[in-house]
């Protein structure tokens, strides 16, 4: 048992080291994120200034900004290149090596990519949260909500991994990486509430979105962090829904992987 | 080098262009599934953009004094202005791979302009979907705003669209050219491309230094806002009148920087 845990931890370490290697890339990304946030700030400021009321759909300008800034930090923290990697390894034939490892293909990828995310949590998510907290002088509470938030980020990361993993298996069949990826990105971006808060969606669309797994990635952690009016039961049920999707998407992707393994053809290798 | 360029006329380059593009089409047709899925992905990107836009205007009637149809005008305009970059200059996205892997050297050994040869290699058909959606949006907004449509406005529109495209192409040329100097230039391209998505909003939403930044440093204000101002408001700002000249100048600068990077590569390569 102890040996097994050590095995997984060393994979996590690989992911961490891999991510630390690209420091210049991180700097460029940070710069890009800052300018992106400036754009978002001015855009929403202009929007709220043009509105006759200060509160729109229950959100003030400050609420919206807190939501969007944290959403963007969460998005870049959880961003995984699982789909790209899987697509590319099937095209190059390297997937044969991955499958020969004395460990499940899913487990291997899950731990390496979680290592990447772990680094991002410390260099990206936590600093952003501190800055947001200081600028808004207490835009979110420092209480039990942080614990719920952490749990939700943890599960959101794994859910995000499984969604990416599922889409990655589709790449085994299509040999189209860019097209599949862009479709996934567009759908997740819009329906998870990462680009526009879900509160702004028209009612019907909102209802549909809440029945889909994507909102559990970013919207659940963010709501748990920001919304003070939730009861503990509501919070637990939100985590429950997240867990539900995690299990469903995880199981479906495993079945899909098993079926696909019998059918794929690998070029070269 | 310049001497030989001048001797060869436009016709020579046009005939070469079509020969190179034909090869690209042949190779693309062998990956038909990829082509169809990529096109679908592109269409979905545009549709989700529209949904996001629609959701915003469900909640707010105007943005900074610009109403729904005026914003739709800017949106359609920016989509069309993006198309030439998407269709004709798509190979810029492959530049960094070619440079790092050393394949770029092949372009240095041809007796034609390097930039021209490199860019000619790919024609991205997916971009045409964007052109279609942009045109429909623009036509719809044009109609709803009951703008006059005469020969004069048509000529102006074409001129304005070319201007916007030149800025768009130049921004991405510069972003791609960074790969001659830095590793990880992929992030630069992705970041710049992300900014151009915000070209559809009026630059007046930015204040102070940031308006200067998005007008003169990362000139996304010239992709849609300044060129289309002439159709939407009376009283034309000086930057609108100057925009075609700026566009040509900026494109020229981006071309020179790109070529400088290429010559540096040719110098150090083996």
Q: Provide the number of structural domains found in chain B.
A: 1
Choose among B37, B45, B198: nearest Cβ to A176: B37
Domain of B38?
2-268
Query: Could you tell me the CA-to-CA distances from B214 to A85, A181, B177, B194 in Å, in that order?
Result: 35, 29, 20, 13
Find out whether A163 and A250 touch, Cβ atoms under 8 Å: no
d(CA A191, CA A217): 10
Query: Could you tell me the CA-to-CA distances from B3 to B13, B113, B187, B253 in Å, in that order?
Result: 15, 11, 37, 20
Q: Mean of the pLDDT values across residues A152-179?
A: 89
Residue B62 bridge partners (DSSP): B67
Question: Looking at residue B85, what is its pLDDT?
Answer: 93
Query: What whole-number percentage of chain A has pLDDT above 70?
Result: 94
Band (B258; pLDDT cuts 50, 70, 90) = very high
Query: Could you tell me the CA-to-CA distances from B34 to A172, B45, B114 in Å, in that order?
Result: 12, 16, 28
Question: Looking at residue A58, what is its pLDDT?
Answer: 82
Q: Return the beta strands (E) in B65-170 as ranges.
A: 66-67
CB B181: neighbour CB atoms within 10 A? 12
B165-179 residues labelled b (16+ CB within 10 A) or e (exposed): bbbbbbbbbbbbbbb
To the nearest 5 percent, what fractions of chain B are helix, strand and coil? 80, 0, 20
Contact criterion met (CB < 8 Å) for A182 and B194: no
Helix (H, G, I), strand (E, B) or coil at B35: helix
Contacts with B207 from chain A: Cβ below 8 Å: 42
Q: Mean of the pLDDT values across residues A193-222?
A: 90
Q: Which residue has the higher pLDDT, A175 or A58?
A: A58
Band (B1; pLDDT cuts 50, 70, 90) = very low
d(CA A77, CA B227): 37
pTM summary value: 0.82
Mutate to test the interface with B, among A38, A176, A188, A199 (most CBs of B within 10 A): A176
Ramachandran angles phi, psi of A56, nearest 5°? -120, 125
Partner B contacted by A13 (CB < 8 A): no
Residue A100 predicted with pLDDT over 90: no
Band (A269; pLDDT cuts 50, 70, 90) = very low
Partner B contacted by A171 (CB < 8 A): no
Question: Looking at residue A151, what is its pLDDT?
Answer: 95
Residue A178 predicted with pLDDT over 80: yes
d(CA B58, CA B207): 25
Contact criterion met (CB < 8 Å) for A180 and B40: no
Q: Which of residues 175-204 of B touch A (CB under 8 A)?
A: 182-184, 187-188, 190-191, 194-195, 198, 201
Minimal Cα–Cα distance from B198 to chain A, Å?
8
Q: Mean of the pLDDT values across residues B207-235?
A: 89
Contacts with A60 from chain B: Cβ below 8 Å: none
């Amino acid at each position: 048992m102890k040996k097994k845990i050590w095995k997984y931890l060393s994979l996590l370490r690989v992911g961490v080291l891999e991510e630390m290697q690209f420091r210049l890339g991180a700097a460029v990304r940070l710069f890009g994120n800052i300018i992106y946030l400036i754009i978002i700030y001015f855009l929403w400021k202009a929007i709220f200034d043009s509105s006759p009321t200060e509160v729109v759909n229950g959100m003030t300008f400050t609420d919206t900004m807190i939501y969007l800034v944290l959403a963007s930090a969460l998005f870049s923290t959880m961003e995984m290149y699982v789909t790209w990697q899987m697509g590319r390894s099937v095209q190059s034939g390297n997937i044969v090596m991955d499958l020969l490892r004395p460990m499940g293909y899913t487990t291997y990828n899950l731990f390496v990519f979680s290592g990447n995310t772990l680094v991002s949590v410390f260099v990206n998510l936590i600093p952003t949260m501190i800055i947001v907290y200081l600028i808004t002088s207490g835009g979110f509470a420092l209480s039990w909500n942080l614990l719920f938030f952490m749990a939700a980020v943890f599960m959101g990361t794994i859910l995000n991994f499984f969604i990416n993993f599922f889409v990655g298996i589709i790449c085994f069949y299509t040999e189209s990486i860019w097209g599949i990826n862009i479709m996934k990105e567009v759908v997740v971006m819009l329906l998870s509430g990462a680009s526009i808060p879900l509160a702004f969606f028209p009612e019907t669309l909102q209802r549909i979105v809440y029945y889909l797994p994507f909102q559990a990635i970013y919207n659940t952690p963010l709501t748990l962090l920001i919304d003070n009016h939730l009861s503990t039961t509501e919070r637990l049920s939100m985590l429950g829904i997240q867990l539900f999707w995690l299990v469903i998407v995880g199981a479906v992707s495993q079945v899909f992987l098993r079926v696909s393994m019998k059918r794929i053809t690998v070029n070269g290798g | 080098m310049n001497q030989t360029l001048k001797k060869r006329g436009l016709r020579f380059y046009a005939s070469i262009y079509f020969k190179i593009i034909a090869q690209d089409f042949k190779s693309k047709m062998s990956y038909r599934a990829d082509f169809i899925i990529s096109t679908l992905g592109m269409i979905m990107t545009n549709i989700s953009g529209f949904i996001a836009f629609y959701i915003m205007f469900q909640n707010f009637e105007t943005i900074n004094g610009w109403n729904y149809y005026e914003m739709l005008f800017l949106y359609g305009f920016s989509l069309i202005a993006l198309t030439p970059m998407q269709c004709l200059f798509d190979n810029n996205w492959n530049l960094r791979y070619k440079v790092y892997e050393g394949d770029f050297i092949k372009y240095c050994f041809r007796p034609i302009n390097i930039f021209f040869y490199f860019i000619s290699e790919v024609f991205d058909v997916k971009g045409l979907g964007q052109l279609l959606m942009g045109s429909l949006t623009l036509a719809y907004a044009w109609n709803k705003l009951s703008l006059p449509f005469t020969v004069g406005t048509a000529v102006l529109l074409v001129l304005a669209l070319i201007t916007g495209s030149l800025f768009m192409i130049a921004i991405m040329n510069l972003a791609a050219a960074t790969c001659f100097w830095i590793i990880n230039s992929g992030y630069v391209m992705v970041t710049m491309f992300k900014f151009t998505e915000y070209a559809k909003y009026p630059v007046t939403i930015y204040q102070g230094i940031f308006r200067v930044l998005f007008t003169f440093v990362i000139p996304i204000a010239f992709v849609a806002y300044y060129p289309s101002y002439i159709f939407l408001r009376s009283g034309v700002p000086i930057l609108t009148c100057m925009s075609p000249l700026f566009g040509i100048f900026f494109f020229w600068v981006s071309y020179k920087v790109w070529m400088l990077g290429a010559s540096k590569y040719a110098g150090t390569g083996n």
